[in-house]
């Protein structure tokens, strides 16, 4: 079975340790930022030992937050990250040597969850909106939603960074009244609703989700390993789609919630959105770039193909591997 650990905090040795040890044998360190929809296939692949079949000893590391996850990749402390897609975009715009090689989904579902007393978006004026450390895609979605409803996010609400990047702290802050609203992806929106909070609005948008990202240095040095990682990820998706009950149990272990109704909600989200071939769609990439342009206008100059290398998934598709999985 592939090794995995869920870290509750960034360990300084992870971020600043020697990079020479990262590629011993076939070890492959993969960071992910949150317990949300786009990361579920990686949990399945790890739990079922699928990457081991492809000659990789994958360690999944829960890094709690997009900015931390991107920083770990830039520092060379992990070899690959899943998600943190807006953070990867802004890092590239600032000169980081990162590259995208695929996606988990081309659509995302968000829920703006509020205190029960909040009835409309405009009721948030003067209120506190909880966010994760750093400016991630959920933050950008809140800003856009406020703007679309005639509000100025910089003046009309106060943003409060809550916790260390995981959703549990924001669920607790919302329930206790520390914040009045926050943006969640499944299953945290349902968890909050069951705690008495209001799902004020749901947003379903074209956007890159669970992006598959590495550094240009890692890709140049270890392309065969990255290809095998992607093959294992594709196989994890196939297993997830064919084995619902077992996948629910795996989800429950990672999310640390025994409510199988909530896990079924998460399963429905990922199983209907996931891209078996990991191929990005232009509309989703453009939407992500437009979000990045809210803070970095130069993102508008990027095309949907800039900073992507889809030759790896092309290679896998041409090999017939994906067709064999779904025979």
Tell which of 188, 206, 224 closes a domain.
206
Residues 132/107, Cβ–Cβ less than 8 Å: no
Q: Are residues 274 and 230 in the same domain?
A: yes
The order of strands in the sheet holding 27-32 is 4-5, 57-62, 27-32, 80-82, 212-215, 98-102
Q: Are residues 168 and 273 in the same domain?
A: no
Mean pLDDT (whole number) for 74-84: 97
- DSSP H or E run through 207: strand 198-209
Q: Are residues 150 and 183 in the same domain?
A: yes
- CATH number of the domain within which 306 lies: 3.40.190.10
Q: Are residues 191 and 226 in the same domain?
A: no
CA-to-CA distance for 300 and 86, rounded, in angstroms? 14
Q: Are residues 295 and 232 in the same domain?
A: yes
pLDDT digits (tens, 9 = 90+) for 7-33: 433 333 444 343 333 334 389 999 999
Tell which of 175, 206, 237 closes a domain.
206
CA-to-CA distance for 284 and 205, rounded, in angstroms? 8
- What pTM did the predictor assign? 0.86
Q: Are residues 201 and 215 in the same domain?
A: no
Q: Are residues 234 and 312 in the same domain?
A: yes
Evaluate if residue 291 carries a pLDDT over 50.
yes
CA-to-CA distance for 27 and 96, rounded, in angstroms? 24
Q: Are residues 214 and 307 in the same domain?
A: yes
CA-to-CA distance for 73 and 81, rounded, in angstroms? 7
Evaluate if residue 65 carries a pLDDT over 70.
yes
Q: Are residues 75 and 217 in the same domain?
A: yes
pLDDT score for 324: 96
Q: Are residues 91 and 113 in the same domain?
A: no
Tell which of 152, 187, 206 closes a domain.
206
Residues 62/214, Cβ–Cβ less than 8 Å: no
Q: Give me the chain's average pLDDT, please.
A: 90
**Domain containing 289: what range?**
4-106+208-325
pLDDT digits (tens, 9 = 90+) for 32-56: 999 888 999 999 999 999 999 999 9
165 band by pLDDT with thresholds 50, 70 and 90: low
Evaluate if residue 82 carries a pLDDT over 50.
yes
Q: Which two structure tokens, joined as six digits, stand for 119?
A: 């009835």
Mean pLDDT (whole number) for 272-276: 97
Q: How many domains does the chain have?
A: 2
pLDDT score for 288: 94
pLDDT digits (tens, 9 = 90+) for 316-327: 999 999 999 999
279 CB-near residues (< 8 Å, 6+ apart): 102, 103, 310, 313
Residues 219/76, Cβ–Cβ less than 8 Å: no
């Amino acid at each position: 079975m592939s090794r995995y650990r869920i870290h509750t905090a960034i360990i300084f040795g992870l971020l600043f340790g020697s990079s020479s040890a990262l590629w011993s044998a076939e070890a492959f360190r993969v960071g992910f930022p949150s317990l949300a929809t786009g990361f579920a296939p990686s949990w399945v692949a790890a739990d079922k030992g699928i990457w081991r079949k492809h000659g990789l000893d994958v360690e999944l590391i829960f890094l709690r937050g997009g900015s931390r996850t991107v920083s770990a990749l830039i520092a060379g402390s992990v070899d690959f990250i899943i998600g943190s897609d807006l953070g990867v975009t802004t890092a590239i715009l600032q000169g980081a040597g990162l590259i995208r090689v695929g996606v988990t989904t081309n659509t995302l579902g968000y829920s703006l969850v509020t205190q029960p007393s909040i009835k409309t978006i405009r009721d948030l004026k003067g209120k506190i909106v909880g966010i994760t450390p750093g400016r991630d895609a959920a933050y950008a979605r809140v800003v856009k939603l406020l703007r679309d409803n005639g509000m100025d996010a910089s003046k009309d609400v106060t943003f409060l960074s809550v916790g260390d990047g995981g959703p549990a702290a924001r669920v607790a802050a919302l329930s206790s009244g520390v914040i009045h609203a926050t943006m969640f992806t499944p299953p945290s929106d349902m968890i909050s609703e069951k705690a008495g909070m209001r799902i004020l609005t749901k947003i379903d948008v074209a956007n890159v989700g669970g992006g598959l990202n590495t550094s240009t240095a890692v890709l140049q040095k270890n392309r065969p390993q990255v290809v095998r990682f992607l093959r294992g990820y594709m196989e994890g998706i196939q297993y997830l789609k064919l084995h619902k009950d077992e996948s629910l149990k795996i989800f429950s272990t990672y999310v640390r919630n025994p409510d199988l109704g909530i896990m079924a909600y998460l399963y429905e989200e990922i199983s209907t959105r996931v891209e078996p071939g990991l191929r990005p769609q232009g509309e989703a990439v453009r939407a992500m770039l437009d979000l990045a342009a809210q803070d970095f206008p130069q993102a508008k100059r990027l095309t949907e193909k800039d900073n992507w290398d889809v030759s790896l998934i092309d290679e896998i598709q041409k090999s017939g591997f994906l067709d064999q999985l779904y025979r």
